[in-house]
Structure 1
Amino acid sequence: MGRLTEAVKHLLIINILFFVATQLYGDQMYLWFSLWYPENPNFQWWQILSHMFMHGSFMHILFNMYALYAFGTPLERMWGRNKFLFFYFSAGIGAALLHTGVNYYLFDKGLQALVDSGVNGDQVLEILAGGQYSPSWEDLVGADTVSSFLSAYNVPAVGASGAIYGILVAFAFTYSEAELMLIFLPIPIKAKYFVPLLILGDLFFGFTGTATGVAHFAHIGGALFGFLMMWYWKKNQFNNNRWN
């Protein structure tokens, strides 16, 4: 991989600065810069971008920044700084859009279930805006529905993972025969198999809900937008051009 490329270096620095600031200022940073559900009072338009620089733990930022360095560096060398940054932020925004779309579905499903059970929808939104909820909702529509409903509204998304998944897809397109290894499966796997395997895992956990605390659909969104961009660039012969 060699020397850091310009865009990757600056992305690493910004992410590290945000992480240090989060350790110093904690909750306030999460309120301002995480990606909240649009109907949540904490939502701000800039969070669509700023959430990409927020991370929840040291291991979270460590894995993301290592992946950015390992897979982003060769792509930036090939594409040039501007094309790499366009791809990176496009994948990250795509991840935010799919994540928010899934949350909208879960939130609307839960709200509609409560309304159908006789609860006033405006009162539900007022209670949520005050940072509370009614335990009686679980008796009306079930604990799982309420859990998904509250999670969609109250749990913000953080991390560069969506953009990183786009980078992984681009790497698999470009260096399909490169051999990679999963930490829990130390066997060399070609990139063209490794990356789809990761995405299939996110699809499984996302649809089954068996692994919480991870924005699986943000990963899928980043991978999907990365795939669409790579497919379009390859089809239109843009993939061989550098943007300086």
Structure 2
Amino acid sequence: MFNNIPPITRNLIIINIIVYIISNFFLYALNNPQLYNLLSAFYPFSPNFKSWQIITHMFMHAPLEGGVGIMHILFNMFTLYSFGPILEQSLGDKKYLILYFLSGLGAFFLFNLWNFIEIQQISNSLQALGVDVTEIYRQADVNYAGNILLNNKTPEIFDLSKKLLIDLKSPMLGASGAIFGIIAAFATLYPEARIGIMFIPIPVKVKYVLPVVVIGSIYLGITGNGGGVAHLAHVGGAIVGYILAIIWKKHLYRFN
């Protein structure tokens, strides 16, 4: 069955699985999380950010022992398997790869644009309270070996300092942004297609599902009620997927 999946989708799934196995069953087994620190995408002005993370974060998924664990990669790969082959065959290899990676980049951009706004607000508040934020940036380095000593002069300063530290040390990871781009492109090119949704007894047209998911993701991302999920990254990926599909839609049959 796996051999029946078109080559680009198949290889993307294989790469994601290989990276997950290496990062969890080899390095984490040795108590060495360095691959996660190197390949997940940190905030661009964090001391932990590396330029290649813009791409590599798309192939990283939640570690086995934390939070959602293996369900993160299983859900993403199943979704890619469900929607990817149709788009790969209709768009062709080149445009399909462009869709995948530009959607991932869109996810990175929108998520970190919101991060920038939030981190600047926190930094400005701390500086107004007389706190040197450069010390927090120094302590946010994942290789920092000293004790984390946040300013606790007042509860407000401590809470803001802790929030800034967490934002600088918390990376985004996963193929979800790229996959949301694929879902958005699918919904744009094939709006009448029906998909099954958990707890809903009848298939629903994808053109109705996507707006609900995007609006929900925007709400959760802005309110901070996402439970550790980068919802705005999903929105960024979906926006790029939608725009590309609109551009390509009128020429779709010309490709074939």
Query: What TM-score does the superposition give when structure 2 sets the normalisation length?
Result: 0.86
CA contact (8 A) 1:75 1:171 kept: yes
Aligned to 2:27: 25
Q: How far, CA to CA, are the matches of 2:242 and 2:153 in structure 1?
A: 40
Moved more, 75-84 or 179-188: 179-188
Partner-residue secondary structure (3-state), 1:240: helix
After the TM superposition, which residues 1-244 of structure 1 pair with which residues of structure 2 at under 5 Å, given as runs? 3-23=4-24, 24-26=26-28, 27-56=33-62, 57-129=69-141, 130=144, 132=148, 134=150, 136=152, 139-141=155-157, 143=159, 145-146=160-161, 148-234=163-249, 237-242=250-255
Distance 1:134 1:185, change over 3 A: farther
Aligned partners of 2:218 and 2:235 also within 8 Å: yes
Instruction: Please state how far the C-alpha of 1:107 moved relative to its aligned partner.
Output: 1.2
Change (3 A) 1:138 1:211: farther
Maintained 8 Å contact 2:150/2:158:
no
Q: How many residues align?
A: 240
- Between the aligned partners of 1:147 and 1:187, the Cα distance in structure 2 is 46
CA separation of 1:13 and 1:137: change in aligned 2, threshold 3 A: farther
- Distance in 2 (CA, whole Å) between partners of 1:138 and 1:227 is 47
Give the Cα separation in 2 of the matches to 1:226 and 1:80.
15
1:195-239 superposed Cα distances (whole Å, 9 cap, x missing partner):
1111122112111112221001110100111112122223xx343
Deviation at 1:242, TM superposition (A): 3.1
Once the two structures are overlaid, the 10-residue window that deviates more, 210-219 or 181-190, is 181-190
Compute the displacement of 1:148 (Å).
Answer: 4.5
Contact 2:137 2:165 in 1 (8 A): no
Q: In 2, distance between residues paired with 1:174 and 1:91?
A: 16
Q: Does the 8 A contact of 2:150 with 2:162 survive in 1?
A: no
Q: Provide the identity percentage.
A: 37
Letter in 2 for 1:239: L
Gaps of 5+ in 1: none
Q: In the aligned structure 2, how far is the partner of 1:125 from the partner of 1:215? A: 22
Contact 2:76-2:179 at 8 Å conserved across structures: yes
Could you tell me which amino acid in structure 1 is paired with residue 58 of structure 2?
M
Note the aligned Cα RMSD (angstroms).
2.2
Q: 5+ residue gaps in structure 2?
A: 63-68
Deviations 1:11-55 (A, max 9, x none): 011000001011121311101110011222321111111110111
How far did 1:105 drift? 1.3
Relative distance call for 1:146 and 1:179 in structure 2 (3 A) is farther
Q: Which amino acid aligns with 2:236?
A: G
Query: Is the contact made by 1:48 and 1:96 (CA closer than 8 Å) also made in structure 2?
Result: yes
Measured in 2, the distance between the counterparts of 1:191 and 1:137 equals 52
- Alpha carbons 2:136, 2:164 under 8 Å: kept: no
| Cα distance in 1, alignment partners of residues 85 and 125 from structure 2 | 48
User: Deviation string for 1:82-136 (max 9, x for gaps)?
Assistant: 1101111010011111111111111111111100111123333233334735152
Aligned-partner residue type, residue 126 of structure 2: L
Secondary structure of 2:140's counterpart equals helix
SS at match of 1:180: strand
